[in-house]
Each structure stands twice: as C-alpha cells, then as structure tokens.
C-alpha cells in the first residue's frame, strides 16, 4: 500500500509550529503596537450633537480659547461652555441657522447639550489644566492645532508614556504669554535657542515639574 503522505510531510508539524510561533509573535507584536493609544485613540473624531467649528470660531474669528473654556486657568477642568455662552453671540448672529437649532432648543427647553468627549483621560489619573498653563505648557501641546480643525480630533495619544515623555524633559515645550493660546505653536527642535533655554529655566524655577514626576502618586490617586 502506497504511503498516503510523502516524506516531505514529516517536516510539516515542525513547519506548522514554526509558522504558528511566528504568527503568534506577529499577532502579539501587532496588538502591542497597533492597539496602543497612538493608533487607537489618535484620530478619534466623533460626531458632535452640534456641528461646532473651531476653525471658524477660534481660527477665522480669532476668538480666545478662554472665552468658552473659561475655567482653564483656575481649575483642573477647562469648562465646556454652557448654552447661554453660545447664545451670547448667537442671539444676534446666525439666528436662523439650521445648524444652530439644537443650541436654541437647548436654551428654550432648558435641555442640556450632550457633547461627546474627545480627549479622555481616565478617572484614575489626575490632570490639571491650570497647572500646565501656569508652568508654560499651552493648549497645542496636547490638543494640536485646534484652530485649524473643523471637527475636533485627537492628535496625541494621551497615553501615560506620552505624558511622561514631556514631563521628563519639558524645556522645549515651555512658552509664555499669548503663545500659550496659540494653537499653531510647535515646539522648537533641538538644539534650543538661548532664548528658549532661558525661558524654560526661568519657568522651571518658578514652576518646577515637581516630583513626583515619575512616581505614581503624582498623578494617580
């Protein structure tokens, strides 16, 4: 009786095992790499209940960030504006716009608008907007160039590693004054200019990235 399997098949189990190992490794590496916040979260752009355009308001009209996000300098939270803030202008401007119906209804019916959160830091991590501004870290460091965005998109991974990267060497991200709210601001490349080094060290003196920077309890509680 003839052999059903040829001799070459003898190598099959070994090959299969090797292939499986490679596949598993690739899968593991793939999950490790591609399921990270950098790939999962960056680019998150949910649809919002109101088609609000930062590009129009903050970009074209040059509205200050703090007009709406009024608590950013004194609270951990940069407030999302109340409906009444929107209507400050929109009772005069664009009164009949279809896209603003939800906002008008909100005020009329006392119904809150449910915005979808884009930048989400887990509840077990403490993040404080006001302290970052105080220390010379502006909006764009985390939120990117919001003024250019029609719909807000997450541009940074907002993972712990990403936080720590900056916390370990914040010098090139420090800035002062109006640059804090200039969303087009990008950090200078190394080597840093003398001016930037001076600014950074001055800010570092006033607002050291106080330890614990690497310790868990600095941010987790």
Partner 1 sequence: MSRGQRLVTQRLVTLGGAPAEEASKPEAAGAETDGVETGPPARGRRYWRSLERLRDSPAMAAEGRLPEELRPEFAAGADLPPDAVTRRTVLGLMGASMAMAGLAGCRRPEEAIVPYVRAPENVTPGLARHYASTFPLAADALGVVVETHDGRPTKIEGNPEHPASQGGANAWAQASILHLYDPDRVPRPQLRQRHTVAAGGDDPAVEVAAGEIADGQQAGGEVEPAGGGHGAGRDGGAAVTDARQGASATTWGDFTTFWQGRAEALGGDGSRLAVLTGDGASPTVERLAGELEGRFPGLTWVAYDANAADTAGSAPALHHLDRARVVLALDADLFLTEPGAVAAARGFARGRRVDENGDGEVNRLYVVEPTPTATGGSADHRLRLKASQVAAFARAVAAEMGVSASAGDAPQSDSPQPDSPPPETQQLETQPPEPLPQLALDAVPVIAADLRRAGSSALVAAGRRQPPEVHALARGLNRALGAEGTTVTYGPGPRGGGSAGGPAAAFADLVTAMRGGEIDTLVILGGNPVYSSPADLDLAGALPRVPHVVYLAHGWDETAAHADWLLPEAGWMESWGDARAADGTASLVQPLVAPLFDSRSAAEVVALLAAGEERPGYELVRETWMGQLGGDAAWRQALHRGVLPGAAPAGGTAAGSGGEAATETATTETPATETAAAATAAGETAVAETAVAEPENAAAAEAPAEGSSLAATSPAEDHAEAATASDSAGHAAPAVAAAGWAADPGAERGSPAGHQPKLDLELVFSLSPSVFDGRFANVAWLQEMPDPVTKVTWANPALVSPATARRLGLEDGDVAVLYHAGRRVRIPVVAQPGTADDTVVVELGYGRRGAGRVGDGVGVDVGRLRTSAAPWIAPAAGLAATGESFALARTQEHDAMEGRHLVREADLGQFRRDRRFTERFEVDVEKVTNLWEEPGYDGPHQWGMTIDLNACTGCNACVVACQSENNVPVVGPDQVRKGRELQWLRVDRYFEGDGDEARPVFQPVPCMHCENAPCEQVCPVAATVHDEEGLNAMVYNRCIGTRYCSNNCPYKVRRFNYFNFTKDTPELVKAAMNPDVTVRSRGVMEKCTYCVQRINEGKAAAKRARRRLADGEVKTACQQTCPAEAITFGDLSDADSAVSRTKRSPRNYVLLAELNNHPRTSYLARVRNPNPDWPGYHQVPLPPARPAAGPGEGSVGAGSRGDGAHGDGAHGGEGGH
At residue 220, the 3 state secondary structure works out as strand
Asked whether position 164 contacts partner 1 by CB under 8 A, the answer is: no
CA–CA separation, 43 and 62 (whole Å): 24
Asked whether position 106 contacts partner 1 by CB under 8 A, the answer is: yes
Q: Which has the closest alpha carbon to 153: 80, 37, 4, 46?
A: 46
Count the residues of the shown chain that bind partner 1, applying the rule CB under 8 A. 46
Contact pattern from residue 110 through residue 129 relative to partner 1, giving x for each residue in contact according to CB under 8 A and a dash for the rest: xxxxxxxx--x--xx-x-x-
Cβ 122 to partner 1 shortest distance, Å? 9
Q: Which of residues 44-63 bind partner 1 (CB under 8 A)?
A: 46
CA distances from 86 to 80, 90, 110, 184, 213 (A): 11, 6, 14, 24, 38
CA distances from 204 to 84, 170, 176 (A): 39, 9, 12
DSSP-derived letter for residue 45 is -
Asked whether position 134 contacts partner 1 by CB under 8 A, the answer is: yes
Given candidates 53, 130, 151, 153, which one binds partner 1 under the rule CB under 8 A? 130
Cβ proximity to partner 1, 53 vs 130, nearer residue: 130
Rg (CA), the chain: 25
Phi, psi of 16 (to 5 degrees): -60, -45
Asked whether position 34 contacts partner 1 by CB under 8 A, the answer is: no
Asked whether position 215 contacts partner 1 by CB under 8 A, the answer is: yes
Cβ proximity to partner 1, 31 vs 176, nearer residue: 31
Cβ 102 to partner 1 shortest distance, Å? 12
**Which residue is associated with the tokens 């077990």?**
124
Given candidates 41, 42, 90, 188, which one binds partner 1 under the rule CB under 8 A? 41
Asked whether position 211 contacts partner 1 by CB under 8 A, the answer is: yes
CA distances from 181 to 4, 60, 81 (A): 75, 15, 17
Residues of this chain that interact with partner 1 (CB under 8 A) are: 31, 35, 40-41, 46, 71, 74-77, 79-85, 106-107, 110-117, 120, 123-124, 126, 128, 130-131, 134, 206-207, 210-212, 215-218, 220-221
């Amino acid at each position: 009786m003839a052999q059903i399997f040829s001799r070459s098949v003898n190598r099959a189990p070994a090959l299969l095992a090797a292939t499986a190992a490679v596949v598993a490794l690739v899968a593991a590496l793939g999950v490790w790499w591609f399921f990270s916040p950098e790939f999962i979260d960056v680019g998150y752009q949910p649809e919002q209940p109101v088609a609000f355009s930062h590009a129009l308001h903050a970009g074209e009209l040059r509205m200050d960030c703090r007009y709406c996000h009024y608590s950013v300098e004194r609270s951990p939270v940069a407030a999302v504006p109340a409906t009444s803030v929107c209507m400050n202008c929109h009772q005069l401007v664009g009164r009949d716009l279809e896209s603003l119906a939800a906002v008008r209804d909100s005020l009329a019916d006392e119904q809150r608008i449910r915005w979808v959160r884009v930048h989400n830091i887990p509840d077990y991590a403490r993040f404080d907007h006001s302290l970052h501004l105080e220390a010379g870290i502006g909006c764009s460091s985390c939120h990117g160039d919001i003024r250019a965005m029609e719909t807000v998109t997450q541009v940074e991974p907002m993972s712990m590693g990403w936080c720590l990267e900056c916390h370990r060497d914040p010098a090139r991200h420090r800035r002062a004054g109006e640059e804090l709210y200039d969303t087009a601001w990008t950090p200078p490349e190394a080597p840093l200019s003398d001016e930037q080094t001076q600014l950074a060290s001055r800010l570092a003196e006033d607002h050291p990235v106080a330890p614990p920077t690497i310790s868990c309890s600095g941010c987790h509680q």
